[in-house]
Amino acid sequence: MPPEKQDATMARRQRHAVMIPYPAQGHITPMMKLAKLLHARGFHVTFVNTEFNHRRMLASRGAAALDGGVPGFRFAAIPDGLPPSDADATQDIPALCRSTMTTCLPHVVALLAELNDPASGVPPVTCVVADAIMSFAYDAARRIGVPCAALCTPSACGFVGYSHYRQLVERGLVPLRDAAQLTDGYLDTVVDGARGMCDGIQLRDFPSFIRTTDRGDIMLNFIMREAERLTLPDAVVLNTFDDLERPALDAMRAILPPVYTVGPLHLHVRHVVPKGSPLDTAIGSNLWKEQGGLLEWLDGRPPRSVVYVNYGSIAVMTNEQLLEFAWGLAHSGYPFLWNVRPDLVKGDAAVLPPEFLAAVEGR
C-alpha cells in the first residue's frame, strides 16, 4: 500500500471525540481539560464552541490558538440561536439555556455529518462527549450510531440536588408561595427522603434555582428536564473522586448509566500533558484575556497572606456594591488578588476611585 494511502487508513482508524460544552466559562474549562487528556491518550479531538464564544476566544487568545496549532486538535463552531450581544460579556443564562435546548440539535447533526464525510480529512467520529445540560447531543450521537458520554460539571452532590427538583415540585415545596419565603424561615424546612443527601437537609441547601415563585421559571424547568435526561447517555463523567462524595455517587449510580469519576481534572492534566508542550500552552479555554504575572506575584508573598476574590463568570453587581467590596479589601490590611471582569458592573465599566488605589498601593 502506498504510504499516503496507509496514512489515510490509519487516520480513518483513529478514535475521534467531539466535545460539546455548555457555552459558559465554568463549563468550557473542565471540558477543555478532559479534551486535552483524551488527545494526550491518542484521540483526535473536535472541540465545539458556539460562534459567540469562538469569537471571544479569538479575541482573548489570538487566531493562532484556534488555527490547528496542535495536530489532531481542532475547533468548530455552531450558532447558539441568540441575537448578537456584547462581545466581551456573559450572555443571559436563562435565554441561553432555552436557546441551546431548542435550536442547537440540527447544527450539531450537520457538524457530525460534515466530520464523517470522507472528504473532511479527519477520522470518523467515534464518540461524543457533551455537557450534561446539552442533552440534545445525546440524540445527535444516536443518529450517527456512536456512544455519547455526559460530562456533569457540578459536583455529584449538586446533581443529586437537581435530581430531587421534580419531587420538591410534586410535594408542593417549590415554587415558593411568595418572595417573603426567602427570608421568613421557610427555607429552613427539612426535606425528608432526599436520596443521596444528608439527614436533615433543608430547602436552603438545595441548588438555588428552586428559589423562585414562578412554576414556569426557565431555569427551574430547564435544570429539572436536563437532570432527568441524564439517564439517556451511555456514560456519565464527573470531575470528582469517590472518597469525596461517596453517598451522592452511590445515589447517582443507582439511577444512571455507568458513572465514572475522573477528578480532579486539573491535577490529571498537570501529570499527563507535558508542561510547555503545544497542548499545554497553545490551547486554552479562557473567554477573557488573561493577565500575566499573577502566579509570580503570588509566589513573592508569604503562605496564607493573600485574600483572593473572584465572582465567577456570571455574577454582576452595581458600582456601589463594587465600591463596598473595594473598601472592605482596603480595610482588611491584607494583600489581595481581585478578579474584576470587564462585564462585572451592570450596564457600566467598573470604576475605582483614586483614593482607593492610593490606600492599597503596594498590596
| E strand intervals along the chain | 16-20, 44-50, 73-78, 127-131, 148-152, 235-238, 259-261, 307-310, 336-339
Q: Using CA atoms, how far apart are residues 35 and 201, in angstroms rounded to an integer?
A: 36
Q: Using CA atoms, how far apart are residues 64 and 138, in angstroms rounded to an integer?
A: 31
* DSSP three-state, residue 67: coil
- If you search the block for the grid coordinates 440539535, which residue do you land on? 105
Active site residue 39: no
Question: Which of these, 129, 154, 287, 256, lies nearest to 209 by C-alpha position?
Answer: 154
Question: Which of these, 141, 148, 135, lies nearest to 115 by C-alpha position?
Answer: 141
Q: Residues 44, 80, 131, 217: which is the catalytic one? A: 131
Q: Residues 16, 27, 44, 54: which is the catalytic one? A: 27
Active site residue 16: no
Question: Which of these, 91, 109, 25, 85, lies nearest to 60 by C-alpha position?
Answer: 25
Radius of gyration, alpha carbons of the chain: 23
Q: Identity (one letter) of the amino acid at 99? A: S
Q: Show the DSSP H helices in 197-350 as ranges.
A: 218-228, 242-253, 265-272, 278-281, 294-299, 319-332
- Residue 279 CB-half CA count within 13 A: 24
Q: Using CA atoms, how far apart are residues 285 and 69, in angstroms rounded to an integer?
A: 15
In this structure, are residues 46 and 166 in contact, taking their beta carbons and an 8 Å threshold?
Answer: no
Report, as residue numbers or ranges, the catalytic residues: 27, 131
